[in-house]
Structure 1
Amino acid sequence: MATRTTTAYERHLPSPAAVDHALAGSAETVYWLEDAGSEVTYPQLTRSGSAEFTIVGGGYLGLWTAVLAKIRNPGLRVMVLESQTLGWAASGRNGGFCEATLTHGEANGVARWPEEYDTLARLGLENLEAMEQDVTRFALDCHWERTGVLRVAVEEHQVDWLASHSGFLDREEVRGEVDSPLFLAGAWDKHDAALVQPVRLARELGRVAADLGVEIFEHTHVTGITTATRGPLTVRTARGTITTERVALATNVFPSLLRRNRLMTVPVYDFVLATEPLSPGQLEAVGWRHRQGLADLANQFHYFRLTADNRIVYGGYDAVYHAGRKVRPEYEKRPATHRRLTSHLLSTFPQLEGIKVTHRWAGAIDTCTQFAAFHGLAHGGRIAYAAGFTGLGVGATRFAAEVMLDRLEGLDTERTRLKMVRRRPLPFPPEPVASIGINLTRTALDRADHRAGRRGPFLRTLDAFGLGFDS
C-alpha cells in the first residue's frame, strides 16, 4: 500500500491568523462584475412573436452562436432568450482563462479520441486564433492578453510529467518567471491560451450581437419547446411564445429542455477569490513580468492569474457536487473552501503575507463523463445543443457554436465529421448512485494527490471504462 504523504500546500501552511487577516472584510461577490461597471440591459419578452432562429441561453455559447449566425447570414432573424442577464452564470464567474484545447487538455483528448487528436488540437488552435481576430474585428473591450499558461510542478513526481515538454523550465527558470518556493519546474505554453475578463467578454458579445440585429431578451425563462412533425417549433416562456424554424440550446449546467439530456451533465461548484491590487513592491517580489496564467498539476488543481489592475485571481482545488443536480445560490456559500484557497494562496506566495482578499465567489460547472463538450441534434435536425464543457468553455464555446450552426444548416464539414461531435458520452446515473460515485471519485483523486499521483484501483477502473479524469 502506498504511503500517504502531505502535499506541498500542507507542508507550507500559513498561520491561521494570516488567513484570518487576509479574509477579513472580503465581499461575497464576483470581482469581474464590479470591474465591468454598469451593464446594458435588455427587455423582457412580454408577448408572443416569431423568429427564424431562436437561441436559449445568453452565456458564451448562446452569444457566440448568435454572433456567428448573423455573420453567416446577415438577413436571418435571430433571437436570444436569457432567463436572467447575459453572462451571469458560468460565463461571468470563471477565472478568465481562454485555452485552445477542445478536449480539456491533451491527456484527456489523446485517451478518448487518439486517432483524431491531432485534428482536434489544430482545430482548437484555429478557433483560438479566430477568437482573437474577433476581439480585434469587433473591438471587444475584454482585457484580452495572449500570454499563455505556465503549468507548474509543486511535487517531485510532477517534474517528470513536464520534462519532455518543449517549453520546460527547471526550478531556477520557473522561479525566474514567477517566484514561489513551491515551484519545482514548469512548462510554458506561450501561444495556446489567452486571458480575458469574463464579464466584459459576455457583455461585449451581447453588444456585437445587438449591433448585428439580434433581438435579445433577458429575464425570460424558457419553460419548454413544443414540436410537431411538420411546421415550426414553439418556444414557450411565462409571458409569450416564439414560433421559430430552428433552436439552439445553450443552457449548459442548467436542466436541459430535452429529456434525453437530463442525465448528461451534473453541476460541480468551483470556488474563486481575488486579492487587492498588488503594489509595485509586491509585484517585484513575485516577478510575473510576462503575466502568464498559472496552473498546478494536481488532480485537485489550482489556477491563478493577474487581472488588468494586478490583483491575483486564485481558484480551483475543491470541486463540490450536491446531490440532486440542483443549481442553487446557497451552494455558493462555503466559507471553509474559501479559507482553504486563501491558505493555499499564502502557501504559494509567502512573500505576500498581509495581502487582503477583497472578493470571493463560486459558480457551477457543467461536467459530463468525457470532461469535454458533447454535441447533438434533435427533432429532425431542427434543434441543436452542446453542453458539458467542464470548466474550459471560454474558448470551446465558440467552436461549439460553429458546430451547432453547421449541423442546423446540414453542412458536411471537418467539424461535423469529428467523432467527438458525432458520439454522445455515457450519461451519469440517477441519484443516489450519481452522488455516491462522484464523491467516491473526489476521495480517490485526493488520495492520489497524497500518494505521489498514483491512481488507486477505483480510478484505474474508471479509466478502463473511459470515465476517468486526469486534469
Structure 2
Amino acid sequence: MTRPAYDLDIRTDPRRLRTALAGAARTPYWLEDPGRPAPEPALVGAVDTDLLIVGGGYCGLWTALQAKEQDPTRDVVLVEAAEIGWAASGRNGGFVEASLTHGPANGRRYFADDLDVLDTLAAENFSGFRDSLTRHGIDAEYEQEGALSVATEPHQVDELRAQPGFLGADELPVRSPLYRAGVFHKSGNALVHPAKLAWGLKAAVKALGVRVFEHTPVKRLTERRGTVQAATGMGTVRCRQAVLATNGFPSLLRRNRLLTLPVYDYVLMTEPLTAAQLDEIGWHGRFGISDTSRQFHYYRKTADNRILWGGYDAVYHRGRGIRPEFDQRPETFNRLADHFLRTFPQLHDIRFTHTWGGMIDMSTQLAAFQGVAMNGKVAYAGGFTGLGVAATRFAATVMLDLLAGADTPRTHLKMATKRPMPIPPEPLTYPAVQVIRRAISASDRNAGRDGLILKTASLMGFSFDS
C-alpha cells in the first residue's frame, strides 16, 4: 500500500525538526502585535442594562455591534472573562469563509431543506462582514484574493475534478511535490489578522456606546421577576435580555453543556520568507491554501510573508479539559513541522518562530447552532467548529432576531430551531474520540473509504464530512 502524503509517522530527521523549532515563542504570533489595546476594567458592583452579552470573542463583539446598529438607544453591556481576543478569536488562522455549513457535503447532510436560503444568507453575511470593516474603520488586514484547495492523494483528484476552477498539478500557482491537483475558489474567501479584527471590533463597539468589562467572568445566570441576572466575581448585572457567546467554554445553560466539545487546534508560524524562498515555491499571491483530507492542513501568508501552518491534529483532552498548558503540545508541533517540510522541501532550512494552540468548539453537525432559553430572554450560539470568523457575525444576527421574536428567513433555519445531537459525557467521550481519530486516519490511508466505525458513527448522527 502506498503511504499517504501525511500520516502520524515522523519522516523528517528529528535533528532537523529540533533545529527548525528551537527557540520558538510559545505565544500566538497575532497577539504580539504592538497595537494590542489595554484591557478594560473589571465590573464591580451592580449594573442594569437592556442587553447583556457574555463573551468577548468574535461572536459577542459582532452581537454588540449589530445590536447598537439596529437600535442606537439600546443600552448594551459586554463582559469578558479574560481579555478581548485572548482565546480563539486571537489564535485562529484568520480565514474568512462565506460558508455557514462547513462545506457542501456537510450542508447537504444536515441542512438540505435550507441550502438555497443558506447560500443567499451566507453571501449576504460575507459581504456584510467586509462592509462592516469599512464602515467602522477596522483595519484587520482584510484581503480577498480567493483560496486554493489542493489534492494530495489520488482519490482526491477525482473529487475535485467536477468542481469549477479545477487545476492540474502543473497549473497550480504554488509548487509542492505532494500536490496532484487543485481548485481555486475565487469568491467567498478572504483573510484577516485575527487579533486586529477582535481589537477593531472592540474599539467599534466602545465608540457606539457599549460598556465593555474585561476580567469579568460570569458565574451564574438566573431568571427573576421578568429579568435575567448574571452574577460575576465582583458584581451583578440585571438585564432584560442576554446573549451567551461563550462558545466552547462550559455553557451557563446546563442543558447545552453536551452540545459542544472543546477540541484543541495547533499552529506553527515561520520566520519571514525571502523573495528567493517565495520564488522556490512559487507562492506569490495573497490567497490561503488547504488540502482536502479529513485531517487537513490550512496555511496562509502574513503581511510580512511568514507562513502560518496549522491543522491536522485536532486534540481532545480528557474530561473536556480547557487549560493554559494545553496550548502547547510538542508532539503535534513536531508532526506539523514534519508535514510542512514534506510539503515544501524547497524550504529545507526554514525556522519556526512561534508555536501555539487554542480551543475550538466542535458540534456533531460540524456547524453552528443558535437558540433561546429562559422564556425567550436569553439567546445562545455555539459549535462553530473552526468556521467562526465570519459565521459568528451571522450567528449574532440570528440571536438578535430570536430575542426580538422576529419572523425572518434566519429564524426558520434548522440551525436556529433544532439543537445538534449531544456528545456523550465522560467517561465515554475520551475513548470514543480516540477510536474515531484512528478511524479517520485509517480512512485517509485507505483512499478515503470509511470503515465500519465511521459508517456506524455517521448513522448515529456524527458528521465527519466537509
State the TM-score, normalizing by the size of structure 1. 0.97
Residue number in structure 2 paired with 1:310: 305
Question: Is the Cα contact below 8 Å between 2:36 and 2:199 reproduced in 1?
Answer: no
Residue number in structure 1 paired with 2:223: 227
The C-alpha deviation readout for 1:329-372, integer Å capped at 9, x for no partner, is 11122101001101111111111111110000000110111111
Residue number in structure 2 paired with 1:145: 143
Question: Is the Cα contact below 8 Å between 2:148 and 2:184 reproduced in 1?
Answer: yes
Residue number in structure 2 paired with 1:459: 454
Question: Is the Cα contact below 8 Å between 1:318 and 1:337 reproduced in 2?
Answer: yes
The within-5 A match list for 1:349-360 is 349-360=344-355
Q: Structure 2: how far apart are the matches of 1:394 and 1:386?
A: 14
Letter in 2 for 1:110: R
The match for 2:232 among 216, 228, 237 is 237
In structure 2, the CA distance between the partners of 1:12 and 1:258, relative to structure 1 (3 Å rule), is closer
Q: Shift of residue 64 of structure 1? A: 0.2
Q: Shift of residue 12 of structure 1? A: 9.9
Letter in 2 for 1:8: A
Residue number in structure 1 paired with 2:409: 414
Letter in 2 for 1:204: G
The match for 1:178 among 174, 184, 187 is 174
The C-alpha deviation readout for 1:29-79, integer Å capped at 9, x for no partner, is 100011353323211111111111000000000000000000000011000
The within-5 A match list for 1:92-131 is 92-131=90-129
Q: Shift of residue 326 of structure 1? A: 1.8
Residue number in structure 2 paired with 1:394: 389
Residue number in structure 2 paired with 1:190: 186
The C-alpha deviation readout for 1:98-130, integer Å capped at 9, x for no partner, is 101101111111111112212212211211111
The match for 2:158 among 160, 179, 195 is 160
Letter in 1 for 2:86: W
Question: Is the Cα contact below 8 Å between 1:9 and 1:348 reproduced in 2?
Answer: no
Q: Shift of residue 247 of structure 1? A: 0.2
Is 2:259 the counterpart of 1:261?
A: no
Q: Shift of residue 139 of structure 1? A: 1.6
Is 2:374 the counterpart of 1:379?
A: yes
In structure 2, the CA distance between the partners of 1:36 and 1:119, relative to structure 1 (3 Å rule), is farther
Q: Structure 2: how far apart are the matches of 1:186 and 1:265?
A: 32
Identical positions, percent: 51
Question: Is the Cα contact below 8 Å between 2:100 and 2:367 reproduced in 1?
Answer: yes
Residue number in structure 2 paired with 1:432: 427
Q: Structure 1: how far apart are the matches of 2:34 and 2:109?
A: 39
Q: Structure 1: how far apart are the matches of 2:47 and 2:133?
A: 32
Question: Is the Cα contact below 8 Å between 1:83 and 1:221 reproduced in 2?
Answer: yes
Is 2:217 the counterpart of 1:208?
A: no
Residue number in structure 1 paired with 2:280: 285
Cα RMSD for the two superposed structures? 1.3
Q: Shift of residue 413 of structure 1? A: 0.3
SS of 1:8's equivalent in the other structure is coil
SS of 1:49's equivalent in the other structure is strand
Question: Is the Cα contact below 8 Å between 1:459 and 1:468 reproduced in 2?
Answer: no
Structure 2 residues not aligned, in runs of 5+ = none
Q: Structure 2: how far apart are the matches of 1:132 and 1:404?
A: 20
Q: Structure 1: how far apart are the matches of 2:458 and 2:147?
A: 27
* Bigger mean CA offset, 298-307 vs 117-126: 117-126
Q: Structure 2: how far apart are the matches of 1:371 and 1:311?
A: 29
Q: Shift of residue 465 of structure 1? A: 2.6
Question: Is the Cα contact below 8 Å between 2:328 and 2:355 reproduced in 1?
Answer: no
* Bigger mean CA offset, 257-266 vs 60-69: 257-266
The match for 1:65 among 53, 63, 66 is 63
Residue number in structure 1 paired with 2:80: 82
The match for 1:6 among 3, 8, 20 is 3
SS of 2:386's equivalent in the other structure is coil
* Bigger mean CA offset, 231-240 vs 80-89: 231-240
Q: Shift of residue 434 of structure 1? A: 1.5
Letter in 1 for 2:232: T
Q: Structure 2: how far apart are the matches of 1:395 and 1:105?
A: 14
Q: Shift of residue 9 of structure 1? A: 3.5
Letter in 2 for 1:433: L
Q: Structure 2: how far apart are the matches of 1:314 and 1:280?
A: 19
Structure 1 residues not aligned, in runs of 5+ = none
The C-alpha deviation readout for 1:268-322, integer Å capped at 9, x for no partner, is 0100010001001111111222221100011111000000110000000111111
Q: Structure 1: how far apart are the matches of 2:429 and 2:423?
A: 6
SS of 1:227's equivalent in the other structure is strand
Letter in 2 for 1:7: P
Letter in 2 for 1:202: A
The within-5 A match list for 1:330-369 is 330-369=325-364
The C-alpha deviation readout for 1:240-270, integer Å capped at 9, x for no partner, is 1111000000000100000110111110010
Q: Structure 1: how far apart are the matches of 2:463 and 2:431?
A: 15
Q: Structure 2: how far apart are the matches of 1:67 and 1:239?
A: 26
Q: Structure 1: how far apart are the matches of 2:254 and 2:34?
A: 36
Is 2:61 the counterpart of 1:56?
A: no
Matched residue count: 465
Deviating above 6 A after TM superposition, structure 1's stretches of 4 or more consecutive aligned residues are none
Q: Structure 2: how far apart are the matches of 1:36 and 1:395?
A: 25
Q: Shift of residue 231 of structure 1? A: 2.4
Q: Structure 2: how far apart are the matches of 1:289 and 1:165?
A: 24
Q: Shift of residue 16 of structure 1? A: 2.4
Q: Structure 2: how far apart are the matches of 1:424 and 1:12?
A: 40
SS of 1:338's equivalent in the other structure is helix
Letter in 2 for 1:40: A
Is 2:250 the counterpart of 1:252?
A: no
SS of 1:264's equivalent in the other structure is coil
